Amino acid sequence: MSKKLVIFFITLVSLTLFFGSFSNSAFADKITLDLGVDDIVVQILGAPPAPVRQPAEFEPMEGVLIRYSFGISYQIIAEMAEDVQVVTIVANSAQQATVQSLYQSNGVNLDHCSFLIAPTDTYWTRDYGPWFIFNGNNEQGIVDFTYNRPRPNDDQIPVVYGNNHGIPVYNMGLVHTGGNYMTDGHGISISTDLVWSENSGLTHEQIDQKMFDYLGITKYHVVPDVNGGSSIKHIDCWAKYLSPDTILIREVPQSHSQYNAIESAVDYFESQKSCYNTSYNVVRVYTPNNEPYTNSLILNNKVLVPITGSQWDDEAIASYQAAMPGYEVLGFTALPGYPWLSTDALHCRVMGITDRYMLYIEHTPLSGYVNGDDGVEIQTKIFPYSGEDIIDSNTCVYWKTDGEDWNSIQLQPLGDNLYHATIPKQENGTKIYYYIHAEDESGRSENNPYIGAPMAYSFTFLSTPNNPPDKPAKPSGPASGKVGTIYMYSSSTTDIDGDQLMYWFDWGDGTNSGWVGPYNSGATASANHKWTAKGTYNIKVKAKDVHENEGPWSDPLSVSMPRRYTFSRFLERFPRLYQMLKYFL
């Protein structure tokens, strides 16, 4: 009996004695031991040390996980191997030698290739591959789940990978799949309601709790699938996080059977708040014939997009370029015999491997109008997971105004990984662009936003706090009139800051003037309107200043349509008859 086997049985007996009296309790599920041929794998079923953070796909990646035989072309593999480590799962050492020869023949950089020997069932590494986290000790971990397919070899890959790389594996006890999961890196994630149906023994609240305990997810968007009854119900078939506040969603013509469901999803996400507490920026990619364009892979500064030879390929590439300026967007056709499908494409067949020692920059960007009487302070947290020191002289805020060159200000430490710098005061109304840059002694160099200058954040300086306009005067104008006739109404107000004002008239019939102006503070604003139906309407008006700061609504003016005619007013239209009747009466 080998030494490892003896250790296994000693450990097993000890655990049996310790947990024996808890066989029906949660303690019995804390640790499982899987005796492998060459090693013992310890899988920890308890939650990782808090707080937990799960990185997003668009954060730094050190590699990708793929499987032989491939579902992707050598062209894709060679492209990935230019920049990151390509980890290929092979069944045995003989198969590894075969793959190495194939890589060499097809221009793949072998210096950026390594291998994981393990049995597998399929090449869908995205669906069954490991989910990487950083635990409360700032150490990388792997969260495992029960793969939602009856493929036992695939289901073991997270544990095998963790054991191979010395990374602890935490099993969250949830049935799931990687294709049905997107996260923003800040505690917000998205799946379709497949996760509910596959975990019907758990309440939605219990699922949310597991997502928080194991992945640090504080907001879990579980949404209806938009792709119809034949879909596999994976979120990556129709939506994708491009950044913490930007979501890509497929677009189809109105005649498409899924049009209403897709547009409902767009409406939902546009109504939600991102981790920055701003509305999501929802961008679209046109997929009229169910092209798989959302099933792309973000790999550091590149975006790999599955294309099909369709007339819409160029438009899809352009959609990504517009949404992700500064990234290199590349289109790839499918491997012959392994076509891209609307439910299975590039993203499904490649799993990103998060940089274990990444240099992480956490920052909530400034936007809109920001008071800058004393300059504007930029705060950020910087975590060197490598454990190496930050290079202070190269860690800074880059900033510029329109048409000017970039300036830099060194970030100063405040303790507990917090840094700050102050952009100096500028003239009122000046637009500022900025991004954060950090370097550490491990050789890592990162930006926030990830791509740096091409996607720099922006805000506008205010030299003094801005006040909203005062309440406008009650609108003045005819209190009655004829349907179909145009009437003019006026109002005015003042702004304590002396800003110019825009006015919005609400006509009480479900329509409005839109913003009219600008007008100087105190000047009278006017707008015209005609009503198309009889009734009584309440007109009201509000104002906003040039900084988008809105004031309150005015008191309403009641207007009746049509005008009511009295008999005497009728007679006034006939003066001689009116005078004769006055004489006799």
Residues paired with residue 502 on neighbouring β-strands, in sequence order = 544
Question: At 450, which amino acid appears?
Answer: Y
Whether 487 is covered by a domain: the verdict is: no
> For 378-410, how does the pLDDT look when each residue is reduced to its tens digit (9 = 90+)?
999 999 999 999 999 999 999 999 999 999 999
Q: Clarify whether residues 245 and 363 are in a common domain.
A: no
Nearest to 187 by CA among 53, 321, 330, 313: 53
Which of 117, 97, 100, 116 lies closest to 108 in space, CA to CA? Answer: 100
Q: Is residue 267 part of a domain?
A: yes
Model confidence at 42, in pLDDT bands (50, 70, 90)?
low
User: Does one domain contain both 296 and 435?
Assistant: no
Q: Establish whether 275 is a catalytic residue.
A: no
CA angle 391, 397, 398 (to 5 degrees): 115
- Percent residues over pLDDT 90 in the chain: 83
Residues 251, 342, single domain; the answer is: yes
Structure confidence at residue 579 as a pLDDT band (50, 70, 90):
low
Q: Could you report the per-residue pLDDT of 95-130, keeping only the tens digit for each?
A: 999 999 999 999 999 999 999 999 999 999 999 999
Domain of 149, in residue numbers: 46-354
Q: Say how many C-beta atoms besides its own lie within 10 A of residue 311's C-beta.
A: 9
Q: Is residue 271 part of a domain?
A: yes
**Model pLDDT for residues 217-268, shown as the tens digit of each residue:** 999 999 999 998 778 999 999 999 999 999 999 999 999 999 999 999 999 9
Same domain? For 98 and 237 the reply is: yes
Q: Which of 113, 237, 348, 396 is catalytic?
A: 348
Predicted TM-score (pTM) of this structure: 0.78
Q: Within a domain: residue 102?
A: yes
Q: Which CATH number fits the domain that encloses residue 444? A: 2.60.40.10
- In 3-state terms, what secondary structure has residue 302? strand
CATH number (domain holding residue 327): 3.75.10.10
How large a percentage of the chain has pLDDT more than 70?
A: 88
- Average the pLDDT over 138-149 and give the result: 96
Residue 20 lies in a domain: no
DSSP string, 406-470: -EEEE-EEEETTEEEEEEPP--TT-EEEEEEEEEBTTS-EEEESTT-GGG-EEEEEESS---PPP
Residue-level pLDDT at 45: 60
- In a shared domain, residues 279 and 386: no
Residues 332 and 366 in one domain: no
Q: Choose one of 300, 319, 354: the last residue of a domain.
A: 354
Same domain for 166 and 304, yes or no, is: yes
Please report which confidence band the pLDDT of residue 562 belongs to, taking 50, 70 and 90 as the band edges. Answer: confident
Asked whether residue 6 carries a pLDDT value surpassing 50, the answer given is no
Mean pLDDT for the chain?
A: 90
Q: In 325-417, which ranges are E strands?
A: 328-332, 351-354, 359-362, 369-371, 376-384, 396-401, 407-410, 412-415
> Is the domain of 349 the same as that of 303?
yes
> 197 and 155 in one domain?
yes
Among 462, 477, 512, the domain boundary falls at 462
Surface-to-core class of residue 249, CB atoms within 10 Å of its CB (0-12 exposed, 13-18 middle, 19+ buried): buried
325 plus 399 within the same structural domain = no
Q: Which of 309, 335, 354 is the last residue of a domain?
A: 354
Single-letter amino acid, residue 235: I
At residue 533, does pLDDT exceed 60?
A: yes
- Note whether 257 and 372 are same-domain residues: no
Q: What is the pLDDT of residues 282-296, one digit of tens each?
A: 999 999 999 999 999
Q: What pLDDT was estimated at residue 577? A: 55
What integer pLDDT is reported at residue 10 of this predicted model?
30
pLDDT mean over 75-79: 98
**Could you give the 3-state DSSP secondary structure of residue 183?**
strand
For Cα atoms 378, 381, 383, give the angle at the middle one, nearest 5 degrees: 150
Cα 247 from Cα 269, distance rounded (Å): 8
In which residue are the tokens 């839109």 written? 514
Q: List, for residues 149-197, the tens digit of each pLDDT value.
A: 999 999 999 999 999 999 999 999 999 999 999 999 999 999 999 999 9
pLDDT in tens, 434-492: 999 999 999 999 999 999 999 999 999 987 778 899 999 999 999 999 999 999 999 99
Residue 500 in contact with residue 517, Cβ under 8 Å?
A: yes
Domain identity same for 206 and 325: yes
How far apart (Å, rounded) are the C-alpha atoms in residues 190 and 178? Answer: 11
Count up the domains in the chain and report the number: 2
Residue 477 belongs to a domain: no
Q: Which long-range contacts (CB under 8 A, 24 or more apart) does 316-321 make?
A: 316/285, 316/286, 316/287, 316/291, 319/248, 319/283, 319/284, 319/285, 319/286, 319/293, 320/248, 320/285, 320/296
